[in-house]
Chain A
Amino acid sequence: MGKEIIPAGQSISIVILFIIGSSLFMGTSGESGNSSWIALILAVLLTLPLMLIYARLHVLFPGKNLYDMLIAVFGGFIGRLFCCLYIWYTLHLGSLVLRNYGEFSKTVALTSTPMLAPMLIVGLLCIWAVNAGMEVVGRSAKFLLLFTLAVIVVVQLLSIPKFEYQHLQPLLDSGWGPVFQDMAGTFTFPFAEIVVFLGAFTVLPRKGSAVRVLISGVVIAGVIIIGVSVRNLLVLGPEILSSLYFPSYVAVSRINIGDFLTRIEGSSAIIFVTSLFIKVSLCLYVACQGIARVFKLESYRSVVLQTGLIMVCMADFIYKDITQMQYFAYHIYKIYALPFQVFIPLLLWITAEIMAHRSTGREEDVQ
């Protein structure tokens, strides 16, 4: 099989759909009430320097993915240990996203269907896409992004008659504390989750393109999430918003155009499925790449089916119920994910810069 390369446009689509994945329907961390949009803006701003670090890693190690970088910098043993941590993280993240979809189906859409059924269907689709290669995921992402954007814009316009602007006031009612808490929560879920894309850096076309892909991806995804969050806030108000598991679904269900265009929330749920398909596919691809790299396999495709099945099974028993899922997503995840998203990449970047500086110095000495 030849080397997989996907154009920057498709990579940006993957990044956008990956970030908006579960947060479109689950919403983001909501301690700050009607000031949550400030927390979102701050989280996007906080993510940008991190994206520059990730992009710098691509410049320092062109054509290498996260696992290659870890092994090259930390050596065989410690590097592989870090690789195992990332394999676990991507596998776990994929399961969490599948479970979000399972809970969504169980709670609002397919209440009598066992939770495993919709998760298995999406899981098998992701296994098929990853087995077909990242080009397929990239092309799917480009098409699905256009569809997702069209649905979001139409729903946004149809929601305007339901907007109640007094929900935005009083601004910063509970002070800056909850805003900063929400900023930390939103930074780790969903923005900094894009660390997973480092595992697919080999598919990027040329040296330096990662900056464009990551920065534009995060900014566009940030604008979409802020737009959807503000819409939910204006339609539902901060009190109702914080009490719901899937606020977007309820906000869209309020749309009623002349008693003719009603109950369109089912249609809008399609975008949840499309974005989580890309998110789970990327998690599965990166987990398989890691397994292939750590155990020196000929191809990552050899383990896609089994890893995907483990991911689906794990999604079934990872939480007891939706309350536990919500608690993990908004309270535990922001601390649990921090080493994977910030500390290890930061350590990798600093060590790689020192190594690059030393090798440049050595070359100058030889000359």
Chain B
Amino acid sequence: MPIVVVLIYVFIVWLDAYGLLKQGKKRDFYMCSVLCLISFSLAFSLAMHWQIPSPSAPIVRFIQQLF
């Protein structure tokens, strides 16, 4: 599964981020690359079955402390 994720992301980078660079949209390319890195990290972690901390947990804790 992790290999599939890596292959899919190679295709995504070629299709999405590299496409923006070819169009000369540098700012869009940088932003897209950062988001691509985040989404790849998440997808790869999920494929490896690594534990990712849920963003809901701190929200729940904060609201429980408030009330």
Inter-chain CA distance A324–B57, complex, in Å, is 10
Q: Is the CB of A310 within 8 A of B42?
A: yes
Which chain B residues border A306 with CB–CB below 8 Å?
16, 32, 35-36, 38-39
CB contact list, A301-349 vs B, under 8 A:
302-303, 305-307, 309-310, 313-314, 316-320, 324, 327-328, 332, 335-336
Which interface class (under 10, 10 to 19, 20 to 34, 35 or more) fits B?
20 to 34
The minimal Cβ–Cβ distance linking B63 to chain A, given in whole angstroms, is: 5
Which chain A residues border B25 with CB–CB below 8 Å?
297-299, 302
Q: Is the CB of A314 within 8 A of B27?
A: no
Which chain B residues border A297 with CB–CB below 8 Å?
25, 27-28, 31
Which chain B residues border A305 with CB–CB below 8 Å?
12, 16
Inter-chain CA distance A306–B29, complex, in Å, is 12
The minimal Cβ–Cβ distance linking A89 to chain B, given in whole angstroms, is: 11
Inter-chain CA distance A109–B28, complex, in Å, is 40
Known: A313-B46, A332-B59, A335-B63. A319 touches B32 (CB 8 A): no
Q: Is the CB of B31 within 8 A of A314?
A: no
Closest to B17 in A: A306
Which chain A residues border B39 with CB–CB below 8 Å?
306, 309-310, 313
Cβ contact of B20, chosen from A302, A309, A310, A320, cutoff 8 A = A302
The minimal Cβ–Cβ distance linking B12 to chain A, given in whole angstroms, is: 7
Q: Is the CB of B52 within 8 A of A317?
A: yes
The minimal Cβ–Cβ distance linking B33 to chain A, given in whole angstroms, is: 9
Q: Is the CB of B27 within 8 A of A296?
A: yes
A17 adjacent to chain B (CB < 8 Å): no
Q: Is the CB of A92 within 8 A of B35?
A: no
Which chain A residues border B64 with CB–CB below 8 Å?
332
Inter-chain CA distance A310–B37, complex, in Å, is 10
Closest to A297 in B: B28
B14 adjacent to chain A (CB < 8 Å): no
A165 adjacent to chain B (CB < 8 Å): no
Q: Is the CB of B28 within 8 A of A298?
A: yes
A92, A291, A307, A332: most-surrounded residue (chain B CB, <10 A): A332
Inter-chain CA distance A318–B60, complex, in Å, is 12
The minimal Cβ–Cβ distance linking B6 to chain A, given in whole angstroms, is: 14
Q: Is the CB of B66 within 8 A of A324?
A: no
Inter-chain CA distance A314–B60, complex, in Å, is 16
Known: A298-B27, A335-B67. A303 touches B56 (CB 8 A): no
Q: Is the CB of B63 within 8 A of A303?
A: no
Inter-chain CA distance A135–B55, complex, in Å, is 32
The minimal Cβ–Cβ distance linking A29 to chain B, given in whole angstroms, is: 16
A295 adjacent to chain B (CB < 8 Å): yes
Q: Is the CB of B31 within 8 A of A291?
A: yes
**What 7 A-B pairs are tightest by C-beta distance, nearest first?**
A306-B35, A302-B28, A313-B42, A309-B39, A317-B52, A310-B39, A297-B28
Query: What would be 21 A-B contacts, judged by CB atoms less than 8 Å apart?
Result: A116-B46, A295-B31, A297-B28, A298-B28, A299-B28, A302-B20, A306-B16, A309-B12, A309-B39, A309-B42, A309-B43, A310-B38, A310-B42, A314-B42, A316-B46, A317-B54, A320-B54, A324-B56, A328-B59, A332-B64, A335-B63
Interface residues in chain B, defined as those with a beta carbon under 8 Å from any beta carbon in chain A:
12, 16, 20, 25, 27-29, 31-32, 35-36, 38-39, 42-43, 46, 52, 54-56, 59-60, 63-64, 66-67
Besides A306-B36, A313-B46, 12 more A-B contacts (Cβ < 8 Å) are A297-B25, A303-B31, A306-B32, A306-B35, A306-B38, A306-B39, A309-B12, A317-B46, A318-B55, A319-B56, A328-B56, A335-B66
